[in-house]
Amino acid sequence: MKDKILSFLEQLADKAKPIVDKALHFCGRRLHVALASVAGLYWNLSPQNRYRVRLAAFAFAILSVGIVVGRITNVNRNVKIEASDKALKVEKSGILELKLPGIKLNPEIYIFQTAEKVQVPVDIKVPGRLTFNAEKSKVLSA
């Protein structure tokens, strides 16, 4: 298996060599000058900054490999969506009731009470505020 891989790589290198030679002949001098200037910029940095550049390059390489592997292994899989009995009920008074089975709220955190519709006197002395909602009913929040 190893021999097959090595022979494939050798064949690939033989096929790519004329293309690489042509590219180097075309822009070899410019490429050489550009690489030398980049190398000079790198080696003129302080050791701490060179370490930061290497770290950033390494992080970018890991990110790039992850993106490529993720794109290669992306398979259109069927996502299982469980059918639940979600129910939204709107009463005539405008009260919304939402039932989400499978979701449990901690009774130590939440206080559950039933809502009742009652007549409220005009004068109410409580700390809080009294407002009206869209259904023209009084909403009291303390």
pLDDT tens track for 79-113:
666 666 677 778 777 777 777 777 777 778 877 77
What whole-number distance in Å separates Cα of residue 80 and Cα of residue 75?
Answer: 15
Tell me the pLDDT band of 139, cut-offs 50, 70 and 90.
low
Domains of the chain by residue range:
2-72
- pTM summary value: 0.33
